[in-house]
Structure 1
């Protein structure tokens, strides 16, 4: 009886804001990357901003649903889904800590969040590539070609080194996932008309030789952010009249999807190429988000 009274008293005193400190401490105990932790803490701040003053025991699914709807209606559709996931983790933790008897976020369905970013077409990549060639930006030409022929993320592109080549393969330990893949130097992308070995040789020739395939003067690696920035500038200059609506313009990362689509058409194992553990993850990259909606699908005998 006494324990039951003390438990209810404890529950009434703990607000969402107060318990968020417990959840934040839990996030810091996880073996996750700093960027992932930072993103999850940002989502946690949204929860505190909307529900922080409420006793955790008073939070109902309707409160969480309204919070998610507010975020979604403000145009932050993907953020709304991520905040719901973090709210679910927060209140699940509260159940484990005996602060709550049930998780109010578990009953809330995630809002629909269609992909906001447009896919990159081969013709658009080629226009950006040709624009860079005409302006003598050889390092950026190499970056575009390396991104396309390897299908890797920008964080992996800037870390590629000559000493990562062994036994006729470029070895890549992906920065985001830790996946380890080895791409043969004779891997050929038909659309590009080149092999991985050809592109690596171009990378070695565009500037004084160094260990990094993409490098600044003094053999210093490029910054992933600056690579994305240069891509956005080149896209705008090469395709000034492009209409991406209702989506946002494609970013450098969309070269990864383009690479997957081109290689799959050749019959290449793109799940291994991209470093995915499951085929459905690769299939998301293969989705061209409406680019081929008007095309005829030809049955081949």
Structure 2
């Protein structure tokens, strides 16, 4: 680009260098004009130094830092990646004193987030990136997983903001996937058929304890005789660490049983710490050893299928699992006038209401 005509006061200066005198104090300042962009750069009051920098800028033949480097676009420093923050977040998460099951679930979910966003700078992750990721999982038919990952991802960014790693939470503007629970509810009629069909004492006791107490599979399996004292069965829930004292006088008229009687029936000729235990040695398990979770799950499923066939009930593609006794317990105790929220260990009544919903498997009596 041809420089503009020089005025008389700049004849002794190299191209693109100009001087200007401040009328207030009489001091002369020098300015360089980039011939390509037209940007102006102040070079101070030292004429000789200004001339040297202008010449260097015009011919770009000086390696040391000078006007050439000052004219260049600033290089943005690369920010920290999402992967780096996940390592920090994992330490925060571990400090929450969570159950083994929750920690195991966290690791698998963390890996999915790592694969999707790990290489991206955390400050550059946009709402569209998050929405695309979550919608992709929903389209795979995993709406529940999409909802769970959204909740976790939202907390990840909330903690990142608190730690100063980013300024905005891109998850807030996204919508959670709509989920429809597919698992079939367990009816009282099927439970009674299973109870009658059960061919192992410990399996009958598992059905009774599960329905009377409304506790999760892991907690029923972990119950010990030592937990029964002062007229109460003491339960520390493995998932939430909720501490429950369930009166052993608790009774369900719908099945004609009370907790004290069931605990007493758990005792047999074998000495064991556990309410649910093997009454004889089988395979690699010794008599008195606790029932494994997988064994309990398989035995429940096999018993359910046999009982359903016996009473002519057609099960869906997602038949009820052991966990559905928790819902049935909530409905039965509520029907007999007891508040199931405390029994189930829920913090909110809304969660209990979900368990009380029969999902259309029961008749509604109209007076």
CA–CA distance in 2 between the matches of 1:270 and 1:99? 43
Residues 228-250 of structure 1 show CA distances to partners (whole Å, capped at 9, x for unaligned) of 222122223332562325xx221
TM-score when normalising by structure 2: 0.71
Judging changes above 3 Å, is the alpha-carbon distance between structure 1 residues 185 and 26 closer, same or farther for their aligned structure 2 residues? closer
TM-score when normalising by structure 1: 0.86
Question: What's the CA shift for 1:160?
Answer: 1.7
Secondary structure of 1:13 counterpart: coil
Residue 208 (1) aligns with residue 276 (2): no
Q: What is the match of residue 70 of structure 1? A: 136
Secondary structure of 1:239 counterpart: helix
Residues 176-213 of structure 1 show CA distances to partners (whole Å, capped at 9, x for unaligned) of 222222222222211111211221222114x5253321
Aligned residues: 283
Judging changes above 3 Å, is the alpha-carbon distance between structure 1 residues 208 and 126 closer, same or farther for their aligned structure 2 residues? same
Contact residue 101 and residue 239 of structure 2 kept, 8 A? no
Question: What's the CA shift for 1:275?
Answer: 2.2
Secondary structure of 1:277 counterpart: coil
Q: 2:260 aligns with which of 176, 181, 197?
A: 197
Answer with 1 or 2: which has the greater Rg.
2
Q: What is the match of residue 220 of structure 1? A: 289
Say which structure, 1 or 2, has more relative contact order (CA 8 Å, 6+ apart): 1
Q: What is the match of residue 154 of structure 1? A: 217
Secondary structure of 2:244 counterpart: strand
Q: What is the match of residue 334 of structure 2? A: 264
Residue 244 (1) aligns with residue 306 (2): no
Q: Which runs of 5+ in 1 are unaligned?
A: 1-7
Q: What is the match of residue 99 of structure 2? A: 33
Q: Which runs of 5+ in 2 are unaligned?
A: 1-74, 279-285
Question: What's the CA shift for 1:77?
Answer: 1.7
Q: 1:187 aligns with which of 240, 247, 250?
A: 250
CA–CA distance in 2 between the matches of 1:222 and 1:131? 19
Residue 233 (1) aligns with residue 302 (2): yes
Judging changes above 3 Å, is the alpha-carbon distance between structure 1 residues 18 and 161 closer, same or farther for their aligned structure 2 residues? closer
CA–CA distance in 2 between the matches of 1:158 and 1:227? 8
CA RMSD between the two structures: 2.1
Q: What is the match of residue 107 of structure 1? A: 173
Between Structure 1 and Structure 2, the one with more helix by share is 1
Contact residue 234 and residue 245 of structure 2 kept, 8 A? yes
Range that drifts further, 86-95 or 186-195: 86-95
CA–CA distance in 1 between the matches of 2:255 and 2:94? 44
Question: What's the CA shift for 1:287?
Answer: 1.1
